[in-house]
Amino acid sequence: MQEVIQDAPIIIEPEAEVNSAVIWLHGLGADGNDFAGLVPQLNLPEQHGIRFVFPHAPVQSVTINGGMKMRSWYDIRSTDFMNDVDAAGIRVSCYQIYDLIQAQLAQGIAANKIVLAGFSQGGLIALHAGLSFSHGLAGIMALSTYCPMPQQFHQHRDISIFMAHGKFDNVIPFSVAQASCSALQKRGYPIQWHSYPMEHQVCAQEIEDIVNWLTTVI
């Protein structure tokens, strides 16, 4: 059971008028600060109108780490990522992300100007929340992640999805990411797939590709 800690997300406002939003989810054991520092590296146009939102996952026990409590979007019970799945925990976190999306909608940002992004655990939640939300979003950025239970997705097949993974990832095997991508493609989702000679991380070429994709979708 998640111990929901209502820490306010980190929000980085643009200098120009806000016209879009990126909600970016961190990985296991990190927090919203993990990717907030990446924003200046994106080298976006000076007058971009993107609001960046970096939420913090709840603190909960993680089985695979000996029950240690840490920030985690859901429990990981084993390395059988596609089959031994904490579906209930994923669902709880998805509802937390729905609330963040609704907050942006309430501030006048259209659904088709909102991107969900995430790394590792956060990427899984970005995919699950983005593909199950009531409105179609601008896109989903899923970095170094995987996607169990793809059979539950039946809508938003026109959404732009950016998936990227390291060929030498020693946390989430490259083959697991490829299988996730293929499963989503078989369900009719257009995936922009990228692979890089890296481990479980983000690299410079990936950042460049993210910027190109991001400026296209919003």
Distance CA 216, CA 218 (A): 6
> Nearest-5° angle of CA 34, CA 38, CA 43?
170
Q: What is the mean pLDDT of the chain?
A: 95
Residue 187 belongs to a domain: yes
Domain that holds residue 151: 10-217
CATH number of the domain within which 91 lies:
3.40.50.1820
CB count, 10 Å around CB of 108?
Answer: 9
Can you say whether the dihedral through the CA atoms of 38, 42, 47, 50 is positive or negative?
negative
Distance CA 140, CA 157 (A): 12
Task: List the catalytic residue out of 20, 72, 93, 120.
Answer: 120
pLDDT for res 6: 52
Average pLDDT score over residue span 199-206 = 97
Is 195 one of the catalytic residues? no
Residue 5 belongs to a domain: no
pLDDT for res 98: 98
Residue 1 belongs to a domain: no
Is 120 one of the catalytic residues? yes
Residue 128 belongs to a domain: yes
Share of the chain above pLDDT 90, in %: 95
Average pLDDT score over residue span 171-177 = 98
Residue 53 belongs to a domain: yes
Share of the chain above pLDDT 70, in %: 97
Residue 154 belongs to a domain: yes
Residue 12 token pair: 């980085």
Task: List the catalytic residue out of 48, 156, 194, 200.
Answer: 200
Helix, strand or coil, per DSSP, at residue 211 = helix
Residue 35 belongs to a domain: yes
The DSSP result for 154-183, as a single string, is -S-TT-EEEEEEETT-SSS-HHHHHHHHHH
Average pLDDT score over residue span 180-194 = 97
Is 165 one of the catalytic residues? no
Q: What is the pLDDT of residues 12-63, one digit of tens each?
A: 999 999 999 999 999 999 999 999 999 999 999 888 999 999 999 999 999 9
In the structure, what pLDDT confidence band is assigned to residue 67 with cuts at 50, 70 and 90? very high
| Structural domain count, the chain | 1
